[in-house]
Structure 1
Amino acid sequence: MEQNPKTVRMWMITCVLFTLVLAAIEIDTDFKMCGTWCHGNISLNLKYDLKTGCNELEISANESTLSIQGSITAKCTQSSSISLKSNPVKNQSNFCMFWKPLLDLLIVEVNGKNHTLCESHGLQENCCTDLSQNKQEPAALYGIVNGSIHGDIISYEVMKKSSFLGDSFNCKKKLCDEAILTSSGANMIEEVVMKSNKMDQQDLPCAQSTIIEMKENFTGLSLTLPASKGKASNKIPSVYLPSCLKSKSRSTSKVVCTYFKDKALFKGAFNSAILDDIVGLSVENEIIKDLPEPVKIRFHHSALPVNYSRRCVSWDTRRDNQENWRYDGCETVKIHDTDLTFITAAGCAMSLVSCLILFYWLGKRSGEKDKSILVHRGLVVATFFFYLCFCLTSILAKTGNEIICKITGTFLYYSLLSTLCWMTVEMFHTFFLIYCVSSSTLPPWVFYLAGFGVPAILVCRLLTIGDIYGLKKMVPSEDVSILYFMCWMLDSDKSRLAHFIIIIGLLAVVVSSGAVMLFFVATKINNQPVWRTNRMACFSIWGLTCLFSITWGLGLCSFFPYSEAILFIFCIVNSCYGFFYMLRYYALERMKKKCERSSDGGSKESVMLQCRDGEGLLYK
């Protein structure tokens, strides 16, 4: 949102999201020793003997063996021999040794082929680094010539062996110190973490990262990022990774989510102030752009003065060879979970009271033999118990009792099915009254069977399957660090299948039947001239009946661009459904009395509207 420059003193950064492309890059190592190995025209071997510690590294060579040994690793203890392919043209082989103490990674390259002697063991706290030359031993014919460290020649002569001494350092602190001094320090952190083979959290003084492996069946993931000590749990940022983030061309790929604690890692020409949290996201060997579903990062900041504004920006180092904050690539969205929760609570309370009032009104007419009253009361009872179970489920879930939660979840699911079934019965009954000019001839027990019996059969069948109902843990969209508990269907394949077939199936019946019946009724009204003066009355009745369809049909529209507005409407209409149903009944009663007064006045029209039992408008 644009604001007047005079009132906005500074842009405050709420979200910081940057994406990195980690393609195949040269190994960035603390130690790189290269040279030419002069050997004989015989079978060659690479021999190594590595131990933990920080003493001495020795690189030696003779007629048949290139040897690396010493105590420089943090966790790696390896001793073996590798057969090498000989060079029949020249009795020489080029080699390099790469040592990354932070990752405990050691690789030797001979004639262009890499041999990993020590695999990465994650980021090491204390490690052996800053290897310095100690002493060399010359050789007559076979050995190492043109030896160099990081490209600087240490000897043009043939050497039998060269040794190096190391110092013990806090490697994590050293990495952060070096990253702060560079313009692309954040990228350096991400690249180092990506090279770690440990699929877990990696802690640094300046950043904390979580490494995730996305496999072929990756369906998306929500996670709470690690944060610095002392930060309140409800203020920790969270990330949602959609399934489309994984490349279809690879079976697996890694993604690194990082919480940066030191803002000095970010430098640029962006004249702004950064709020508390900076979050980075990197995907292995991928360019993140044009995703069909966005990556969502949630931040929790304290209130700002009215003359300050917040805006999401991204840290981009891959465009124009410059590091800078950019506005494109991210969108700032404010979440309304608290408002929706309040609306739901208030609407449910209103619906419970409305159902009690409506049940009392219908009870005063219990002596009348009319099927409409039966249908009304059935729907009111089912709706009341649905809202009651919904209000109790979160309270009972806090007890942590699995048996109580399973029973509560079963009743909640049954009351929902019963409400949907009674909605269908109500719509078909009203359709017969308005369109077919007669009430249904079905006996009352059929209505009870459809409204209460069918849901009971379905629930009992699901109970025999097992692992359907119980304690469900839910993550709120505004703060994924806090879990909500509810007695409902479990997160299992069987529960999801049952939900899709039964609930979605019933919703489809309610929504589609309401739309089809509304079409037929509207068609009949237009074909009768006398109805044109009263079409608003009929549409009022049928429009309220279609509330059954609208309440749940809105949920199917959440994927449209205005999904946030639809979410609010869906929440309001569904939580206040009992109240709207009471208004529907009250409107029908008013119309009935008005019609009766008109009939008492002695209308002489050959075709007139008749009112019957407060429910439908019939032809006579």
Structure 2
Amino acid sequence: MEYRITDGLKVLFILNIFISTGSSQNDRYLDFGGTWLHGEGHLYLNVNLSTGCKGISVSANETTLSIGGQITSQCVRSDVIPLNISGHDLMKNTAFRLLWEPLLDLLKLQIGGKNLTLCWPSSLHDSCCTDLSHGPNEPEAEYGIAHGKIRTDVISEKTYTGYEFSGRHIDCTELCNQDRHGSNPANEFEPICAHSSEVEMTADFSGLAVTAPATMGVSTQSNVIVHLPPTLKQAEKKTSKVVCTFFKNISLFQEDYKKVRVLNDVVDITVENEIIADLSEPIRIAFHHDAIPKMHPRKCVSWDTKKDPLMVNWTDHGCKTKQEELTYTECLCNHLTYFAVLVQLEPRPVRHLLALTVITSLGCAVSFISCIALIIFLYRKRRSKEQSRPIHLGLAVSLAFLNLLFFLTGVLANTVNESVCTLVGAGLHYALLSSFSWMGIEVFHTFWLVNRVFSPSPKTYIWFLVGFGLPTVPVITLAALGNIYGTREVVESNDVSSPYQMCWMKNNYEALLAHYFTNMPIVVVLVLSGIVMLFMVYREIKNREEWRKNSVSFLSIWGLSCLFGTTWGLSLLNFGPLSDFVLFLFCILNSFQGFLLMLRFYMLEWMRKRPGGSTLGSSSTGSTRQHMLKAMERN
């Protein structure tokens, strides 16, 4: 009896091993990964692929990761590719993942934080190489592939120089039907099948509309119609056949999920062995899709084969977005390649970008000229003993520098190289922080006058050290860290294909952190302290005779608001239904800030010089000190 129980347990144990290991063998597709143990020098990827179905091998040594074999239907590649893909050599231990999808004739390699496409997707073929099974491993070695696994099933913890996988032919149509009915486990390429339509362009070809075939499990709203123009017949030279291949839900076309997303449909239009470009009449591609909210603008894009043939690169060059509706997008493109609709997720697009750009540019130009005039005005009063004059002068200089760089940043971003734009971006950040510093000094100095009436204020060189010297610390630190300053794109909600470029902080995670740790805290502190200081000044001088005149009180309030930087607080209110109004008000007040300051100082000087001029008509917050003294004398 004991022997029977023992024999039964053995059988169950063997069956359990068979079932558990069977999940990692004879897979329809290949998902193989591991850790490449290599040296610290330059690394390379050796690719040697040809058509057939003998199998595929993955091997590695100290310097090279090799992928080769006969597994594809039409992809043929023989390359040696440097792997310093991140601008430097990879780390000593590098994880990788190799993905093979037979229905698409697709081979991808994920390594070093990059997705390299070794064989691009194609339409359905007659024969597919699938049912892959793991063969014998190569010998153990110091350098090679460790922790090899198929999907989540670990093959071995040891380090081998290579792995072998064999396959067998199967009818692609049968395999595609199995996927449609859900007989195969889902993977990241689902649904797998891509379908092609061939169009023969005869001598009297007058154009044709090609519709993507219906696909089970996909929304009926999702569809693509390609309108081929008659000029396509005139452009072709060697053949008269054009092929339209339709893909659905292909995740390989997705790269940066946080910023953009490709819609479900991707279409590939090709003429065999020919490059068709600059068509006199563009191809019209109508994408019918699920509803896209207006807050996420879209643009028509095509495949950029010039930038990097191994990477997913979309460009709007050669394509125009003609018509947009919630469930419909029409693209006009003058060449042949892959086409799709790219939906913008981040950064949030800006509405009325053109109007805001014009207002800001005009305001910066006027403010720069006004600040120069204000600098001359304050310089002529250099013999004055007024304590506030050097502080006003420092603010005027920093604002002039800020407005000049902001006015030029759009032009420089499109005319200079990235290194120059990096310097301009750092300079713009310095000018902004310097302006904030001088506004903070204005607040502190006014507070000093209000609360320490009989005490001398700090020396002038201390103000200049804080206003011009202190902002260099965060800017130099961020520049040393790198990848912070450079070209920044601001996207228009109605035209995502033509973003506004400027030299500023980049649109990446590091720059976002730098923004929130340098700019935002300063703005919050500046605005809050400025509001408190406005209230204190108002409380002290509200009973003055001059304040009975509305023009004088209004002049003092908005003048001090500009000095104290409270208008920058509008940047904290850019949300909700009034966001557009707040954004316009923010651009107007802050771009014209230099002009408003000049106007305040000149008007106060005019009021001081006119017969019976007001004592409030001083050109500085030093007048606040006089009001404080007179108020104390009355008390």
Greater CA radius of gyration, 1 or 2? 1
- How far did residue 486 of structure 1 move? 2.7
The question of 1:545 aligning with 2:554 is answered no
Q: Which residues in structure 2 correspond to 1:248-287 (within 5 Å)?
A: 261-262=285-286, 280-281=289-290
Task: Please give the secondary structure, in 2, of the residue aligned with 1:76.
Answer: strand
* Matching residue's letter, 2:602: Y
- Taking a change above 3 Å as real, the CA distance of residues 418 and 186 of structure 1, as seen in their structure-2 partners, is same
Deviation for aligned residue 1:579: 0.7
Instruction: List alignment gaps of at least 5 residues for structure 2.
Output: 1-25, 29-51, 54-71, 74-123, 134-169, 199-207, 226-241, 270-275, 301-319, 329-348, 631-635
* Aligned residues of 1:99 and 1:106 also touching (Cα < 8 A): no
Letter in 2 for 1:105: C
Residue pair 2:195, 2:245 contacting (<8 A) in 1 also: no
SS at match of 2:486: strand
In 1, the alpha carbon distance for the partners of 2:132 and 2:250 equals: 31
2:401 pairs, out of 379, 385, 392, with 385
SS in 2 for 1:77: strand
Cα distance change, pair 613–412 in 1 and its aligned pair in 2 (3 A) = closer
Which residue of 111, 116, 129 corresponds with 1:77?
A: 129
Which deviates more from structure 2 when the two are superposed, residues 539-548 or residues 578-587?
539-548
Does 2:419 align with 1:348? no
Q: TM-score, normalised by structure 2?
A: 0.51
Q: Deviations over 1:530-585 (max 9, x none)?
A: 67636863553133221353432112111121111222111222221111111121
Q: CA deviation at 1:452?
A: 0.5
1:197 corresponds to: none
Matches of 2:223 and 2:267 in 1, distance apart?
19
Determine the C-alpha separation between the residues in 2 that align with 1:226 and 1:116: 20
Instruction: Tell me how far apart the structure 1 counterparts of residues 589 and 429 of structure 2 sit (CA, whole Å).
Output: 20
Residue identity opposite 1:562 in structure 2: L
In structure 1, the residue corresponding to 2:576 is in which secondary structure? coil
Over 3 Å counting, the alpha-carbon distance change for 1:187 and 1:611 in structure 2 is: closer
CA distance in 2, matches of 1:430, 1:232: 65
Deviation (angstroms), 1:365: 0.8
Show CA shifts across 1:305-364 (max 9, x none). Answer: xxxxx995658xxxxxxxxxxxxxxxxx99422222211221111111111111121121
Q: What residue in structure 1 maps to residue 571 of structure 2?
A: 555
Asked if residue 107 in structure 1 is aligned to residue 175 in structure 2, the reply is no
Q: 2:548 aligned with 1:533, yes or no?
A: yes
Provide the C-alpha distance between the structure 1 equivalents of 2:443 and 2:500, rounded to a whole number of angstroms.
36
Change in CA separation of 1:439 and 1:561 when aligned onto 2, cut-off 3 Å: farther
Counterpart in the other structure of 1:465: 481
What CA distance in whole angstroms lies between the structure 1 residues aligned with 2:179 and 2:547?
Answer: 90
Alignment of 1:516 onto 2:532: yes
Q: Offset of 1:447 from its aligned partner?
A: 0.8
- Supply the distance in 1 between the matched residues of 2:422 and 2:176 (Cα, whole angstroms): 51
Question: Is residue 190–residue 249 contact of structure 2 (8 Å, CA) maintained in 1?
Answer: no
* Separation in structure 2 between the aligned mates of residue 231 and residue 479 of structure 1, nearest angstrom: 23
Give the structure 2 partner of residue 221 of structure 1: 260
Is 1:444 the counterpart of 2:460? The answer is yes
8 Å Cα contact 2:367/2:595 also seen in 1: yes
Q: Of 167, 188, 211, which aligns to 1:176?
A: 211
Query: Superposition pairs for residues 136-535 of structure 1, below 5 Å?
Result: 176=211, 186-187=221-222, 211-212=250-251, 219-221=258-260, 261-262=285-286, 280-281=289-290, 294-297=295-298, 335-433=351-449, 437=453, 441-525=457-541, 528=543, 533=548
CA distance in 2, matches of 1:553, 1:47: 60
Which amino acid in the other structure matches residue 261 of structure 1? I
Distance in structure 1 (CA, Å) of the matches to 2:179 and 2:482: 56
Note if contact 1:525-1:531 (Cα within 8 Å) is conserved in structure 2.
Answer: no
Q: Structure 2 matches for 1:39-78, cutoff 5 A?
A: 73-74=125-126, 76-78=128-130
- How many residue pairs match? The answer is 400
CA RMSD in angstroms comes to 5.2
Whether the aligned pair in 2 keeps the contact of 1:389 and 1:408 (CA below 8 Å) is: yes
Whether the aligned pair in 2 keeps the contact of 1:471 and 1:488 (CA below 8 Å) is yes
CA contact 1:104–1:122 (8 Å) conserved in 2: no
- SS of 2:388's equivalent? helix
Query: Does structure 1 retain, via aligned residues, the 8 Å contact 2:194–2:246?
Result: no
Q: Give a deviation string over 1:137-156, Cα, whole Å, max 9, x none.
A: xxxxxxxxxxxxxxxxxxxx
Unmatched segments (≥5 aa) in structure 1? 1-45, 54-71, 82-97, 128-172, 191-202, 237-258, 263-277, 283-287, 303-309, 316-332, 600-608
1:383, 1:419 within 8 Å by CA — same for their partners in 2? yes
Distance 1:350 1:445, change over 3 A: same
Change (3 A) 1:186 1:462: closer
Deviation at 1:401, TM superposition (A): 2.5
Does residue 578 (structure 1) correspond to residue 594 (structure 2)? The answer is yes
Shift of residue 385, structure 1, vs aligned partner? 0.8
Instruction: Assess, with a 3 A threshold, how the Cα gap between structure 1 residues 519 and 174 changes in structure 2: closer, same or farther.
Output: closer
Distance in 2 of aligned mates of 1:611 and 1:174: 75
**Inter-partner Cα distance in structure 2 for 1:567 and 1:231:** 41
Q: Matches of 2:590 and 2:473 in 1, distance apart? A: 25
Bigger relative CO (Cα 8 Å, ≥ 6 apart): 1
How far the C-alpha of 1:188 sits from its partner, in A, is 6.1
The residue that corresponds to 1:329 in the other structure is none
User: In 2 relative to 1, CA 218–447 (structure 1 residues): closer, same or farther, beyond 3 Å?
Assistant: same
The secondary structure found in structure 2 opposite 1:186 is coil
Identity of aligned residues (%): 30
